[in-house]
Amino acid sequence: MNTEKLTQQTAGKSSDIMLAATPEFLQNAESLDTATVSAVDLVVEYWSPENAGDKRRCFFYGFRNETVMSPDNGNEIDLLTAVFVRRENGNNVFFKNSSRRLTGVLESLNIAQGTPLEITYLGKKRNKTNAFTSDTWSIRPLIIK
């Protein structure tokens, strides 16, 4: 990007200000009026199923690490998050979930990007090693004919 020099007079003193020239993409700003909107929304919804039996049919998109605040101590922690894409009203909609049991299965089985899945939330189950509960899931591959 090129810059332009502008001399400004303030209180009898002159100073040079470097201004960014118009970026190349703004030279075609009028094309926004006629551009076609993509079927993909870039906002990724966090899926928090509420009831056992809630399910989604989707394609596995991949993993990403997300930095979140720990509810235990307020420190930042990295969470492995699974990202999926599904169809909704003719559009591709991304959603994600960071459940350790869900991401653990997908990661351990090395599920490939683009694998069609039906993910069903089975509810919460008490952990054997502590007093907490964890989400449980059914993850089934779909056979597309």
Tens of pLDDT, residue by residue over 44-91, are 999 999 999 999 999 999 999 998 888 778 889 999 999 999 999 888
Q: Does 74 share its domain with 131?
A: yes
Instruction: Confirm if 54 and 118 have CB atoms less than 8 A apart.
Output: no
- Which position has the higher pLDDT, 89 or 19? 89
- Residue 80 placed within a domain: yes
Nearest to 15 by CA among 26, 24, 6: 6
Cα–Cα distance measured from residue 36 to residue 95, given in angstroms and rounded to the nearest whole number: 23
Cα–Cα distance measured from residue 33 to residue 42, given in angstroms and rounded to the nearest whole number: 20
Domain extent for 18: 3-27
- Residue 35 placed within a domain: no
Nearest to 86 by CA among 29, 41, 140: 41
Q: Specify the 3-state DSSP secondary structure of 27.
A: helix
Q: CA angle, 47 as apex, 44 and 51 as ends, to 5°?
A: 165
Q: Count how many domains the chain has.
A: 2
Cα–Cα distance measured from residue 98 to residue 58, given in angstroms and rounded to the nearest whole number: 16
Q: What is the pTM of this model?
A: 0.71
Number of alpha carbons in the 13 Å side-chain half-sphere of residue 12:
0
- What's the pLDDT score for residue 1? 46
Cα–Cα distance measured from residue 69 to residue 110, given in angstroms and rounded to the nearest whole number: 27
The predicted-structure confidence for 94-121, as pLDDT tens digits, reads as follows 999 999 999 999 999 999 999 999 999 9
Q: Does 96 share its domain with 120?
A: yes
- Residue 32 placed within a domain: no
Residue 65 belongs to a domain with what CATH number? 2.40.50
Q: CA angle, 36 as apex, 30 and 41 as ends, to 5°?
A: 115
